[in-house]
Chains A and B, each alone.
Chain A
Amino acid sequence: MLDASEGYVTEDGRKIGGVVMEMKNITLRFGGVVAIKDISFDIREGEIRAIIGPNGAGKSSMLNVISGFYVPQEGEVWFHGKKRPPMKPYEVARQGIARTFQNIALFEGMSVLDNVMTGRLNFMKTNILQQGLWMGKAEAEETENREAVEKIIDFLEIQHIRKTPVSRLPYGLKKRVELARALAAEPKLLLLDEPMAGMNVEEKEDMCRFILDVNDEFGTTIALIEHDMGVVMDLSDRVVVMDYGKKIGDGTPDEVRNNKEVIDAYLGVSHD
C-alpha cells in the first residue's frame, strides 16, 4: 500500500491517487521538549487522512508542520514531489493548502460573508486603492470572487447567516464558517484541526457529511485531527496514530483499530 507512485481504491469505490505530501523523519522540538519524534507518513491525492492520538500526543504540532507554521529541526517535508523549503504561511496558502483551527480563528466583528471573502485574498490582484474606489477591475474582481464564495455558502448551507456577524453565531456554525473560509481558497489540501470538537451529535453528523461532500465534490485531499473515534473511523481512509510525539500506528481504520499499541495508548498503559 505504501508504494509511492501507485494509488489504491477505497471500499466505497473512490480512486485514491499518488502521494501528495510526504513527511520524512520529522522531529520537532520546543527547547527541551520533543513534540514530534522521528515521524514519517504520507498523504495521497483525494484521500481523507486522519491523525489521532491522546491529548498532548503532538497532533496539532504535526498539523502545524504540514501547514508550514512550524519548521521541524530535523526531517523533510515533500510536497508534490519537491522538497519544501521553510516558507511563510501565505506562501503555503498559495501552494494550495488551507486550514481551520482548533480554537476558532474568525474575524468576530465581520459578517459571515466577509469572513469567507477573506479566504479569496490570494485570488485578488487589485491594490487597496483600486478596491477602495471600487472601480473597473476591482468591481469585476469582487463580483467574480463573490460568485465563488456564494457557491461555497450554498454548498455548506449557511445562506441564512450570510449577513450575520460571526460573534452572534453558535459554536457549531462558527466551525462551519471556518470550513467555508478554508474552502474559499480552493485548496488542494485541506487541514482540519478538530473540526468536530465541542459539537453535539447532530452538528457532528452535519459536519461529517460536509467533509465527505467536500472530498467527493471538489476532490479535495483532507488531513484532519479528531478526538471522536467513531467519527474518525467512519470518515477517514487511512489513520496515523500518535502518542507522546511518536507514531504508533498507520493504516486503514480497521488495521489501526486492531493494533495493540494503539489499544494500549487509548486504554492507558503506564509509560515507564
Chain B
Amino acid sequence: MGRRKTLAQTQSGAEGLHSLPALLHRNATQFGDAPAYREKEFGIWQCWTWAEAAAEIRALALGFLELGVEKGDHIAVIGRNRPAHYWSMVAAQMVGAVPVPLYQDSVAEEMAYVLEHCGAKYVVCGDQEQVDKVIEIQENLHQVKHILYTDKRGMRKYDHSQMNALEDIMAEGRAGHFRFDAELDRRISEITYDDTCVMLYTSGTTGKPKGVVLSNRNVIESAKNSAEFDHLTRNEDILSYLPMAWVGDFIFSVGQAYWCGFCVNCPESADTMMTDLREIGPTYFFAPPRVFETQLTNVMIRMQDASALKQRMFNYFMDHAKKVGGRILDGKPVGFMDRLKYALGNILVYGPLKDTLGYSRIRVGYTAGEAIGPEIFEFYRSLGINLKQLYGQTEATVFITVQPDGEVRADTVGVPAPDVELKIAENGEIYYRSPGVFVEYYKNPESTASTKDPEGWVATGDAGFIEESSGHLRIIDRAKDVGKMADGSMFAPKYVENKLKFYPDILEAVLFGNGKDHCVAFINIDLNAVGNWAERNNIAYASYQELAGHPRVLETIKNHVAEVNKSVAADEMLSGCQVHRFVVLHKELDADDGEITRTRKVRRKFVEDKYADIIEALYDGSETVTTTTEVTYEDGRKGSISATLTIVDAPVVTATQHKVAAE
C-alpha cells in the first residue's frame, strides 16, 4: 500500500496538478467551454464556463493582492452556497492565503471564537446579516482589516472605509492587472503539494471547535481516489446546498469538482432547494439522511391525498419494487416476469416519482453523517436510485469507508476507501490511516497529538467492528458514549436512539442510563409529521409545546417506544438499553442553545446537565415534572419557556436473561 501511495503522489505531482489553482488552469484550458458553475438567480440559471470562472477567480485574486493580502493570511468565508463564495476560496489559495469557510447560521459569539482563533484579517460575507455579525465581533476583536460582501442589498449606509463589495474588488483587480499579474503568477507558482488548502472548523460535540488543517495533498488525493472509486467524470452535475463550512461540501463542490471538472450548481435560496434539485436533476448527489427522510415523508403525505386509483397503483408497484428493485440495482438474478413488471412500474410509478424528487438522472448518491433508517434507504434503492452510505470525518478529508456498487446494505458503512487502512482497537474504537489524514489542528498541538499518533493513525472516536463475512465496517456508537449499565451490560445510546428516530414522528431522541439500572429517554417530535397527523385527526393545537404534550401524541410515541423496546430486546448484547420511561420535550433541541451541533449531533453531556431536573424526575418515579428552560432566539437574544411535562412509562420486554457483556 505504501508503495502505491507514493506512486500516486509522484504522478499527480509530476503532472503539476498539486493545487486547486493548477486544476482550475487545466480545466480552463482543456475544456474551457464546459459549464463549471451555475446559480439560479432572478428565476434563471446563470452559467459560467470553466474559462469564465477562471477569469472571475483571477480577477478576485488580483483584487485580494490590491487589498494587500499576504501569504499565510486567513480569509474567512461566511455565506450560503454561491459561486462567488467558492471563487473566494480558490482566489485565496491563489494568493497564498488560507480560506476558512464558516457556518453562516452561527450566532455572533460562536463566530467570534473561530474568527479570533484563526486570526482572519479578511472576511467574505454573503449578505448584510453576516456583515452585521462580523462588525459586532470586530468591536472586541480588532483584527479584521477588510470586510467583503457579495449581496449589496442594505449595504449602502455602512461605513465603507474598511468594507467593499466583492464585485467591486474584482473590478479593481481587473483594472489593476498590469500591476499585479506578475506577483500573482509568482504566488501561484510557489504553492506546493503540502501547503494548506483549506481550514475547516469541526463543530465538535464537546468543547470548542477545532480548526482542521487540510493540505493540497489531502484534498486532491482524496478527491482523486473517491472520483476513481465511483467513476466520476466531468459530465456530472451536482447541487451544492450543504453548509460550505462542512468538509463534505468542500470535497464535493471544490475538490472533486476541480479534479473531475464537473459542474457545481447553486440553488437560488435555501427554501428553493427542492425545486432547484428537480430542475438540475443531479447525476451525483449527497445528502444527510434527514433530507431523504423529509422527501419520503412528503411523498407519503401527498400520496394520502391522491385519488384511490393512484394510491392503489402506487402501493402495488412499490410492493413490487421492494421485492426486486434492490436486487435489480445490485445486478443480482431476477426472473423475467418480475423484470417486466418492474419495467412497467418504472413507466407508471417509479419514473414519474423519481422525476418529482429530482433523481431521474442520478448515478451515484451518498448519505452520511447519521444512520439512515433501513426502510428509507430501501425505498430509494428499490426505485433504482443508487444510494450508498459512507463513513467519514473532517480529519480524514471525508473518506474512511464507502460502499462499493453492488455491496450496499443499510446496516454497514462499507469497506475501507481506496488507500485507507483501518484497525480496531481493543476497546472497539476505530483507527484509520490514509493520504487524507489531516495535517494538524490549528494552534492546538495537544489535540493533534492525542488524535493522531506519530505513525499517522487517527482515532475516530467511534466504536465499531468489521464484519468477518463481508469485510464491511459496522458502527455501534461514539466510543466515549458507550458505557455500562449498573449490571455490567453494554450501554450504547445511539443504537436505541437511531431506532427511535426511524419513526417519522420522532425527530430526535436522547437516551440516558450509563451506570444506572435502567434507561430513560428524551424525545423530540417532528412538527411536520405530527402536525400533519394532528390536522388529519382534527386535533387542535396552538404551539409546538401544546402538540408535544397532547395525550394522543404521547400515546403514539409510547407505541413507538414499545416497538423499539421489542427490537432492542432481541439483541442479546444490548437488551439492557430498553427505554423504561420517557418524556416528550417541550422544545426542539437547537444548535442556537448549544444542545446539538450545527451538523445536528446531540451534545449529550450538555443536554444531560441542562435538563438534569427532568432526568431526575424520570428516575425518581414522579408522574410529571415542571421545568423552566432558557432559549436563545435566532438574533442571539435569550428568553425562557416553562412547561409541565408528563412522564410516560413505556412497556418493556422483560428479558429472560441479560447477557452480561464479556468482561
Q: A residues within 8 Å of B by Cβ? A: 12-13, 146-147, 150-151, 153-155, 157, 159-160, 162-163, 213, 216-217
Q: Of A13, A151, A159, which is within 8 A of B272 by CB?
A: A159
* B44 → A minimal CB distance (Å): 8
Residues of B257-296 at the interface with A, using a CB-CB cut-off of 8 Å, are 268-269, 271-272, 275
Provide a sorted-by-A list of 6 A–B residue pairs whose CB atoms are within 8 angstroms: A150-B42, A154-B41, A159-B43, A160-B272, A213-B153, A217-B154
Contact A147 to B42, CB < 8 A, known contacts A159-B269, A160-B272, A160-B275: yes
Q: Does B157 contact A (CB under 8 A)?
A: yes
Residues of B39-63 at the interface with A, using a CB-CB cut-off of 8 Å, are 41-44
- A49, B41: Cα distance in complex, Å: 33
- A155, B42: Cα distance in complex, Å: 10
Q: Which 9 A-B pairs have the closest CB atoms?
A: A160-B271, A150-B42, A160-B272, A150-B43, A159-B268, A159-B272, A159-B269, A213-B154, A154-B42
Beta-carbon nearest neighbor of A148 in chain B? B42
List the B side residues contacting A216 at CB < 8 Å.
Answer: 154, 156-157
Beta-carbon nearest neighbor of B44 in chain A? A150
Known: A213-B153, A216-B157. 6 other contacts (CB 8 A): A12-B157, A150-B42, A157-B269, A160-B275, A162-B43, A213-B154
List the B side residues contacting A157 at CB < 8 Å.
Answer: 269
Q: Which of B41, B42, B268, B269 has the most CB of A within 10 A?
A: B42
* B613 → A minimal CB distance (Å): 29
* A177 → B minimal CB distance (Å): 15
Q: Of A12, A13, A151, A160, which is within 8 A of B42 by CB?
A: A151
* B633 → A minimal CB distance (Å): 10
Q: Of A12, A151, A154, A159, which is within 8 A of B271 by CB?
A: A159
Interface string of B117-155 (1 = CB under 8 A from A): 000000000000000000000000000000000000110
- A159, B271: Cα distance in complex, Å: 8
Beta-carbon nearest neighbor of A146 in chain B? B43
List the A side residues contacting B275 at CB < 8 Å.
Answer: 160, 163
List the B side residues contacting A155 at CB < 8 Å.
Answer: 153
* A146 → B minimal CB distance (Å): 7
List the A side residues contacting B269 at CB < 8 Å.
Answer: 157, 159-160
- A155, B153: Cα distance in complex, Å: 8
* B269 → A minimal CB distance (Å): 5
* B291 → A minimal CB distance (Å): 16
List the B side residues contacting A213 at CB < 8 Å.
Answer: 153-154
- A147, B41: Cα distance in complex, Å: 11
- A87, B269: Cα distance in complex, Å: 42
Beta-carbon nearest neighbor of B40 in chain A? A159
- A163, B43: Cα distance in complex, Å: 11
Contact A217 B153 (CB under 8 A): yes
List the B side residues contacting A147 at CB < 8 Å.
Answer: 42
Tell me how many residue pairs across A and B have CB atoms closer than 8 Å.
34
List the B side residues contacting A154 at CB < 8 Å.
Answer: 41-42
Beta-carbon nearest neighbor of B151 in chain A? A154
Interface string of B419-447 (1 = CB under 8 A from A): 00000000000000000000000000000
Contact A13 B157 (CB under 8 A): yes
Beta-carbon nearest neighbor of B154 in chain A? A213
Q: B residues within 8 Å of A by Cβ? A: 41-44, 153-154, 156-157, 268-269, 271-272, 275
Beta-carbon nearest neighbor of A13 in chain B? B157
* A9 → B minimal CB distance (Å): 13
- A146, B43: Cα distance in complex, Å: 9
* A271 → B minimal CB distance (Å): 37
List the A side residues contacting B43 at CB < 8 Å.
Answer: 146, 150, 153, 159, 162
- A162, B43: Cα distance in complex, Å: 9
List the A side residues contacting B268 at CB < 8 Å.
Answer: 159-160
List the B side residues contacting A153 at CB < 8 Å.
Answer: 42-43
- A135, B275: Cα distance in complex, Å: 29
Beta-carbon nearest neighbor of A149 in chain B? B43
* A210 → B minimal CB distance (Å): 11
* B459 → A minimal CB distance (Å): 42
- A12, B158: Cα distance in complex, Å: 12
* B321 → A minimal CB distance (Å): 30
* A206 → B minimal CB distance (Å): 12
* A212 → B minimal CB distance (Å): 9
- A155, B272: Cα distance in complex, Å: 15
Beta-carbon nearest neighbor of A154 in chain B? B42
- A216, B42: Cα distance in complex, Å: 21
- A160, B269: Cα distance in complex, Å: 8
- A163, B271: Cα distance in complex, Å: 13
* B186 → A minimal CB distance (Å): 40
Beta-carbon nearest neighbor of B152 in chain A? A217
- A209, B156: Cα distance in complex, Å: 15
* A12 → B minimal CB distance (Å): 8
- A186, B41: Cα distance in complex, Å: 21
- A147, B156: Cα distance in complex, Å: 23
* B631 → A minimal CB distance (Å): 14
Beta-carbon nearest neighbor of B267 in chain A? A159
Q: Which of A12, A147, A159 has the most CB of B within 10 A?
A: A159
- A155, B271: Cα distance in complex, Å: 15
* B634 → A minimal CB distance (Å): 9
Beta-carbon nearest neighbor of B43 in chain A? A150
* A162 → B minimal CB distance (Å): 7
- A157, B275: Cα distance in complex, Å: 15
Beta-carbon nearest neighbor of A158 in chain B? B271
List the A side residues contacting B271 at CB < 8 Å.
Answer: 159-160
- A13, B157: Cα distance in complex, Å: 9
- A79, B63: Cα distance in complex, Å: 48
Beta-carbon nearest neighbor of B275 in chain A? A160
- A216, B272: Cα distance in complex, Å: 27
- A10, B409: Cα distance in complex, Å: 65
* A202 → B minimal CB distance (Å): 9
Beta-carbon nearest neighbor of A209 in chain B? B154
List the B side residues contacting A217 at CB < 8 Å.
Answer: 153-154, 156
- A13, B159: Cα distance in complex, Å: 13
Q: Which of A146, A150, A160, A217 has the most CB of B within 10 A?
A: A160
Beta-carbon nearest neighbor of B271 in chain A? A160
- A154, B46: Cα distance in complex, Å: 15
List the B side residues contacting A151 at CB < 8 Å.
Answer: 42
* A248 → B minimal CB distance (Å): 34
List the A side residues contacting B42 at CB < 8 Å.
Answer: 147, 150-151, 153-154
- A192, B153: Cα distance in complex, Å: 22
- A196, B662: Cα distance in complex, Å: 65
List the A side residues contacting B153 at CB < 8 Å.
Answer: 155, 213, 217
List the A side residues contacting B154 at CB < 8 Å.
Answer: 213, 216-217
* B525 → A minimal CB distance (Å): 21
* B560 → A minimal CB distance (Å): 30
- A210, B35: Cα distance in complex, Å: 35
* B151 → A minimal CB distance (Å): 10
Beta-carbon nearest neighbor of B274 in chain A? A160
- A13, B158: Cα distance in complex, Å: 12
Beta-carbon nearest neighbor of A155 in chain B? B153
- A147, B43: Cα distance in complex, Å: 9
- A46, B375: Cα distance in complex, Å: 58
Beta-carbon nearest neighbor of B634 in chain A? A202
List the A side residues contacting B272 at CB < 8 Å.
Answer: 159-160
* B156 → A minimal CB distance (Å): 7
Beta-carbon nearest neighbor of A213 in chain B? B154
- A162, B40: Cα distance in complex, Å: 13
Beta-carbon nearest neighbor of A212 in chain B? B154
- A213, B157: Cα distance in complex, Å: 11
- A12, B154: Cα distance in complex, Å: 14
- A1, B272: Cα distance in complex, Å: 47
* A209 → B minimal CB distance (Å): 9
- A67, B393: Cα distance in complex, Å: 61
List the B side residues contacting A13 at CB < 8 Å.
Answer: 157
* B302 → A minimal CB distance (Å): 13
- A19, B234: Cα distance in complex, Å: 61
- A150, B41: Cα distance in complex, Å: 9
- A265, B520: Cα distance in complex, Å: 57
- A13, B275: Cα distance in complex, Å: 41
- A237, B272: Cα distance in complex, Å: 36
